[in-house]
Amino acid sequence: MPKKKISKETLSHSFHSKKFLSIQEAIKKGRGRVSLHGWCYRERGSKELRFLVLRDSSSIIQCVVEKGRVAEDVWRHAERVRIETSLELRGMLKKDTRAPTGYEVIVEDLQIIGTCENFPIQKDQSVEFLADNRHLWLRSRRMTAILKIRSTIFGAIHQYFRSHGFYEYQSPILQPTQSEGGSSVFTVPYFGDTLFLAQTWQLQAEPAIFSLERIYTLAPSFRAEKSKTSRHLTEYWHAEMEMAWSTFEDIQGHAEGVIKACVKEVLRQNKEELQILERDPKKLQPTVTKAFPRTTYTEMVERLQKKGMALSWGKDLRTEEEDALSEWYDTPVIVTRYPKEVKAFYMKEDPENPRVVLGFDVIAPEHYGEIVGASQREEDIHKLEENLRGYGEDPKNYGFYLDTRRYGSVPHGGFGLGVERLVSWICGLENIKDAIAFPRTVLRYRP
């Protein structure tokens, strides 16, 4: 069949109107007549003159309407513009160092597209109010900047794995078993049975490495932990990878690699957004240029004890201990070989020391806590069964998983990266809730 030719002209017309520049494009152009559309970000003025700051996804720009210089109906429209009114305008662009982004548009024509009632969000509103009005707060410059950085990070994760020979693969969200500990699993009634929301993709991901060898995903995970901390969501996005024939070092290398790739891309693409968030890029630079330190749990416990912290070998590191050790580094740090009792049933026992597992956490700098949880996977089916029983689980329910060890098992491992934890650290956020558009926590699940 002959291919139908689509001209460039047809394409651009059917996808967007060429008439309008983005504010950023207009600022780049620097002078001349421009048509813009967006929302009113701020407005003030007198009976003769109105200053409207226009906002779109790219930037903001000051637009001036002078009563004496525009048609009567244009002035009437300008008078009716309120904060968050959507509008189109045309005018002459010029440099103005007093304007917020250094340029100003002298308006010739203006039309209201969507009128706006009194916008509920004003200056100095409480965190709770902004959370209740999240659907409107997303328009703020702060949230826009965070969401752009988040988008860069999602892109960088896909790019990293795809360029390292990983296939994108999807596990089910509705799962027949739990995997990371029963206390943090959501149950779902399911036609007379009970299922669980995925805490991880892992148990249904491992079977797929026997087909694809290297796989990754970027998908929601769910945790029913009642933790009301600035690091816990009940629904979060999880970047996970699983790799056949891997060594423990390979998994550490990819965890370091993907974090570096994300930070590098944000530093390259999001200078302005970091500035809006008042995040100093210098704090992130070492992550790109330096190798992440690799240390062991045992070494960290000894160092923390020497520092006077009361902790004993065998207990998981708590928030305050992770925070204390992160102060020794200006990049994320890889902590390996945790005690077996504190980690999940699938982690491989260290052949050189059966008390610890070949698992690691990556701890972010600046008190952002654990961003990656990872391990080599236990290949010994009997150890897996024993571990499951130890956690009060019936190995029979894990038959599909244990089969992966029965039929041509290979050394393998993987990790899970909490994307909102990474976004929080990169953006320097106070609370993980701002790292996602509509956060879900124990107390916050609307709108």
> Which residues in this chain contact Mg ion in the complex, by CB under 5 A?
373
Q: How far is the CB of 99 from ligand 4AD (least distance, A)?
A: 40
Residue 250 near ligand 4AD by CB under 6 A = no
Beta carbons within 10 angstroms of residue 33's beta carbon: 12
Cβ atoms 341, 391 nearer than 8 A: no
Nearer to ligand 4AD, 144 or 199 (CB): 199
C-alpha distances (whole Å) from 114 to each of 84, 109, 120 are 9, 16, 16
Nearer to ligand 4AD, 148 or 238 (CB): 238
Q: Which neighbouring-strand residues pair with 103? A: 95
Stretch that binds ligand 4AD, among 1-9, 234-242, 308-316, 398-406 (CB under 6 A): 234-242
φ and ψ at 59, to 5 degrees?
Answer: -175, -165
Residue 146 near ligand 4AD by CB under 6 A = no
Residue 329 near ligand 4AD by CB under 6 A = no
Give residue number: closest CB to ligand 4AD: 373
Tokens standing for 353? Answer: 């020391």
Which residue is associated with the tokens 């690691």?
Answer: 360
Residue 56 near ligand 4AD by CB under 6 A = no
DSSP 3-state of 315: coil
Radius of gyration of the chain (CA): 27
DSSP 3-state of 65: strand
Residues 387-446 close enough to bind ligand 4AD by CB under 6 A: 414-416, 418, 420-421
Stretch that binds ligand 4AD, among 127-135, 197-205, 290-298, 387-395 (CB under 6 A): 197-205
Residue 373 near ligand 4AD by CB under 6 A = yes
Binder of ligand 4AD out of 317, 374, 423, 427 (CB under 6 A): 374
Beta carbons within 10 angstroms of residue 424's beta carbon: 25
Own/partner pairs for 72-77, CB < 8 Å, 24+ apart? 74/107, 74/108, 74/109, 74/110, 77/110, 77/111, 77/112
Residue 378 near ligand 4AD by CB under 6 A = no
Nearer to Mg ion, 110 or 205 (CB): 205
Residue 372 near ligand 4AD by CB under 6 A = yes
Cβ atoms 238, 199 nearer than 8 A: no
Nearer to ligand 4AD, 74 or 347 (CB): 347
Tell me the residue type at 401: Y
Q: Total number of residues binding ligand 4AD (CB under 6 A)?
A: 22
Nearer to Mg ion, 91 or 373 (CB): 373
Binder of ligand 4AD out of 85, 178, 200, 326 (CB under 6 A): 200
Binder of ligand 4AD out of 21, 233, 335, 429 (CB under 6 A): 233
DSSP-assigned states of every residue in 341-399: GGS-TTBPEETTEEEEESEEEEEETTTTEEEEEEEEBP--HHHHHHHHHHTT--GGGGH
Tokens standing for 391? Answer: 């956690």
Nearer to ligand 4AD, 53 or 233 (CB): 233
In the list ligand 4AD, Mg ion, none, the entry touching 377 (Cβ below 5 to 8 angstroms by class) is none
Q: How far is the CB of 206 from Mg ion (least distance, A)?
A: 17
Q: Alpha-carbon distance 433 to 443, whole Å?
A: 11
Nearer to Mg ion, 39 or 248 (CB): 248
Residue 180 near ligand 4AD by CB under 6 A = yes
Closest CA to 120 of 106, 108, 105, 135: 135
DSSP 3-state of 194: strand
Q: How far is the CB of 415 from Mg ion (least distance, A)?
A: 10
Residues that bind ligand 4AD (CB under 6 A): 180, 199-200, 202, 223, 225, 232-233, 236, 238, 240, 370-374, 414-416, 418, 420-421
